[in-house]
Amino acid sequence: MLFSSITFLGFFLPIVFILYWLSPSRIYKNMLLFFSSLLFYAWGEPKFVFLMLFSILLNYIAGLKISHAADEKRRKMVLAFSVFVNLTILFIFKYLGFSITIIDIFLNTIHIKPLNTINMILPIGISFYTFQEISYLVDVYRKPELAQKNFLNLGLYISFFPQLIAGPIVRYHDINLQIENRSESLEKVSKGFQKFIIGLSKKVIIANNLAVVCDSIYNADFYSYGAAAAWIASISYSLQIYYDFSGYSDMAIGLAKLFGFELKENFNYPYCSSSITEFWKRWHISLTDFFRDYVYIPLGGNRISKKRTIINRYIVFFLTGLWHGAAVNFILWGLLHGTAMIFERISGISDKVKNLKVKSCNIIKITYRFLVLATINFLWLIFRNDTEQSIKLLLKMFGLNFRSFTNSGYQEVVKMDLLWFYVDTKFFIILALAVLFAFPWWKRVNLPQKYLFPVYLSKLIITIILLIVCFAFLANNTYNPFIYFRF
């Protein structure tokens, strides 16, 4: 069930919200949220809800075993085994087919009959809730008193529907106290609805409309469009994936507020970044923090040696790419981001540019920031497309012909740039809004106290208008894909 669907907005959310506020006690509220979350998940994945219940039971037992272990060695063994089981489940559903394909390529080179390819259906949200389960186990290992003795409460933590399918990845120690001791208020509800509607607008008004143009161009015959259309598609995708994913994160955070939960922000205007390192402090923050705390730091982080630091970073970014998808292009995307970050660290170029004090050096800062954005944009090409297609698109963006770089000697001519077949005035308005709101320029405006009420009233009116516009788009059967379902 999509947040940006009539079913969710018109039926599921209002019913759950009303029943929640009518529930007399915390235990009934938590029971309602747990069973509602299972229903939410079963709506799109009815058979995989049993996998989730098995997963909850597995980690419930593992947490108790870790907390009751007689000594450190036994606790560590139980932790290692339970994490292994969680990752094995993730591997079977997400990476087994990819692994067999890689093995088949190797077997083919040595003339051995390949294995039978296995195509597994990927359970929605499995990457997110698996990481939450690992977070729970590690937190219990570090502090045994955190072990959840109530199956219902642990089930709610793992299956909580606002962040179940697309994050943010909520770590257990950040939310465990809220499960039994949280407060609801009209102020939270007001802020929650506002946050939700902002996220819904990002998704429905901006991301969906950019997706129409981007997908139309990339799905067209490669030689039917030219450089201008390739640039439009590339920029559109960079903005689409930001507004799509950050929109869903905003909706998740807003929904959680409706039920008294406080979740951490997952995006902080990543396209404001002045370096790749800063980009990863602003983009998908919960994933970055997870890999930092549960992989990078345990590996030694940057405390050992320069060589080990580089290796640790490559491990983290290899896993980051692999987490996003079982394909070579995702791994390459992650490793290239890691390479860019390592280059920044070794050369110190981003710090040098940032520390330039002379006003005449502002052009250097602007140029470097532009190069950072261009790098991120080009890497999104690899993220979305396979490796060969990405190279072809990148060359096309600069007016170069991919065929010229092959041995075929065949020159394919672009027949016609059909840019205006794909775009219209509405698209350019949406694109302008997407660029405008990718930067928090309004935060620099400091208004006197007397303007606070008019501003609050204006925000309320704008929020209502945005909600009406979103419903209009959805009622009109607007193209409504969701990028992060595949992860």
d(CA 276, CA 345): 10
Candidate from 378-382, 410-414, 421-425 with smallest mean pLDDT = 410-414
Give yes or no: residues 172 and 206 share one domain. Answer: no
Q: Are residues 264 and 393 in the same domain?
A: yes
Looking at the fold, whether 102 and 152 belong to one and the same domain comes out as yes
User: Do residues 171 and 61 both lie within one domain?
Assistant: yes
| Res. 421: pLDDT tops 70 | no
Residue 48 reports pLDDT greater than 60 = yes
Tell me how far apart the alpha carbons of residues 227 and 39 are, in angstroms, rounded to a whole number: 47
Chain mean pLDDT for the chain = 87
Residue with tokens 């004090």: 357
Tell me, what's the pLDDT at 336?
A: 96
- Identify whether residues 140 and 263 lie together within a single domain: no
Final residue before a domain boundary, out of 167, 182, 197:
182
Single out the catalytic residue among 173, 284, 324, 337: 324
User: Both 332 and 441 in a single domain?
Assistant: yes
Least confident of 121-130, 320-329, 357-366: 357-366
Number of structural domains found in the chain: 2
User: Looking only at Cα atoms, what is the longest distance across the chain?
Assistant: 79
Using the 8-state DSSP alphabet, how is residue 175 labeled? H
Q: What local confidence, expressed as pLDDT, does residue 414 receive? A: 45
Percent of the chain with pLDDT over 90: 53
Are 322 and 436 in the same domain?
Answer: yes
1 domain residue, yes or no: no
The per-residue pLDDT for range 464-473, each reduced to its tens digit, is 999 898 888 8
467 within domain boundaries: yes
Q: What local confidence, expressed as pLDDT, does residue 202 receive? A: 95
Dihedral sign computed on CA atoms, order 100, 103, 109, 115: negative
Annotation marks residue 324 as catalytic:
yes
At which residue do the structure tokens 């058979």 appear?
Answer: 47
Estimate the crossing angle of helix 13-22 against helix 26-44, to 10 degrees: 170
In a domain, 25, yes or no: yes
**Both 214 and 324 in a single domain?**
yes
User: Is 274 in contact with 372 (CB distance < 8 Å)?
Assistant: yes
Class of residue 307 by CB neighbours under 10 A (exposed 0-12, middle 13-18, buried 19+) = exposed
Cβ contacts of 261 within 8 Å, gap of 6 or more: 160, 162, 175, 178, 182
Domain end point (choices 137, 159, 182): 182
> Rounded to an integer, what distance in angstroms lies between the CA atom of residue 373 and that of residue 355?
19
**Would residue 464 count as lying in a domain?**
yes
Nearest residue to 202 via CA among 257, 254, 136, 155: 254
Per-residue pLDDT tens for 309-332?
999 999 999 999 999 988 899 999
Query: 137 and 89 in one domain?
Result: yes
Is the model's pLDDT at 290 over the cut of 90? Answer: yes
pLDDT at 115: 72
Do 135 and 204 have their domain in common? no
Task: Give residue 410's pLDDT.
Answer: 43
Domain boundary among 130, 156, 182: 182
Q: Could you read off the pLDDT of 148-196 as tens digits, one per residue? A: 999 999 999 999 999 988 879 999 988 989 998 898 999 999 999 999 9
263, 217: one domain: yes
Q: Which residue has the higher pLDDT, 55 or 399?
A: 55
Per-residue pLDDT of 366-409, as tens digits, reads: 888 999 999 999 999 999 988 788 888 888 888 776 555 444 44
User: Could you give the CA distance from residue 310 to residue 328 in angstroms, rounded to a whole number?
Assistant: 21
Report how far apart, in Å, the C-alpha atoms of 325 and of each of 332, 384, 461 are: 11, 11, 40
Name which of 245, 263, 265, 254 is nearest 13 in CA terms: 254
Residue numbers of the domain that contains 421 = 189-486
Q: Do residue 106 and residue 248 come from a single domain?
A: no
pLDDT recorded at residue 408:
47
Kindly report whether the peptide bond that precedes residue 168 is cis, defined as omega within 30 degrees of 0.
yes
Inform me whether the pLDDT recorded for 146 exceeds 50.
yes
439 pLDDT above the threshold of 60: yes
